[in-house]
Amino acid sequence: METISENKCFGGVQGVYRHPSKATGCDMTFGLFLPAEAALHPVPLLWYLSGLTCTHENAMSKAGLQAHAAAHGLAVVFPDTSPRGEGVADDPAYDLGQGAGFYVNATQTPWAPHFQMWDYITDELPRVLFANFALEEDRQAITGHSMGGHGALTMAMRLPGRFASVSAFAPIANPTASDWGRKQLGAYLGADESTWGVHDATLLMQNGGFDGDILIDQGTSDQFLDLLRPETLAQAMAATRQPGSFRMQNGYDHSYFFVSTFAGEHVAFHAEALAR
């Protein structure tokens, strides 16, 4: 593993690291914030999954999570959103290919050789993190924005017991019924829609939900509301009596101004769950 940078940050360290990935068949880069407590003992870990077009750097620089995480003694990892580099398939559209991995394991040509983001995030990167940094494997939480909110919710519901809590900012809530989802799931997983449902938070909620608390924030002025379909997930949470909160925030859009506004509340939500 290569250290790209390490900077003092709110008493801790904000690092950026690169490592060869067997899952994606290329080098992968991630950011990791470690609070001051990590110099003394392992600390809980909050995962932040980013959205379309993002790298590890967007949320690391714009979401303001480090100050809140430092106050609660939490580490935060910022993975990349897709494989990258020479020989990695791409598409001219912003919502497919590099920067748009959708947190699935692709089975279709030309994506399958590298776009194994589910395995990378749920298996390989955790092994790298817990082998190299002072982190508590049994105290994890997960959050994400947009495409990353989709990833966070699906991982939390499909991996019971791993995450104490899950939250999301403007998640892609029902991708099997949205143009933000049908295009990508079809490209990565093929035309058989029966394979898509395990990557749809609304369907997973209808079929069991999450074994903990959920917090979701969605802006009412989000320019992508029709693609996100938040009402479907809210209805599924109500129908299954899922513990948690789905909040429509008046006037907020899809940007990192929205994410940073509520980042502190999300970190506090996860800190409370991790403390339990």
CA-to-CA separations, 2 to 16, 36, 82, in angstroms, rounded: 9, 22, 19
Phi, psi of 13 (to 5 degrees): -135, 130
How far apart are alpha carbons 98 and 239 in whole angstroms? Answer: 36
Asked if residue 237 lies in contact with residue 210, where contact means CB atoms within 8 angstroms, the answer is: no
Q: Which of 68, 145, 254, 270 is catalytic?
A: 254
Q: Please say if 27 is a catalytic residue.
A: no
Active-site residue identified among 21, 50, 82, 146: 146
Lookup: tokens for 251: 């006037």
Q: List the structure tokens of 16.
A: 């950026």
Return the number of other C-beta atoms located less than 10 Å from residue 111's C-beta. Answer: 25
* Residue 98 DSSP one-character state: T
Q: Catalytic annotation on 254?
A: yes
Helix, strand, coil percentages (3-state) for the chain, rounded to 5, are 40, 25, 35
Instruction: Name beta bridge partners: 245.
Output: 215
At what angle are helices 65-72 and 256-275 packed, to 10 degrees? Answer: 10
Q: Where in the sequence numbering do the catalytic residues fall? A: 146, 222, 254
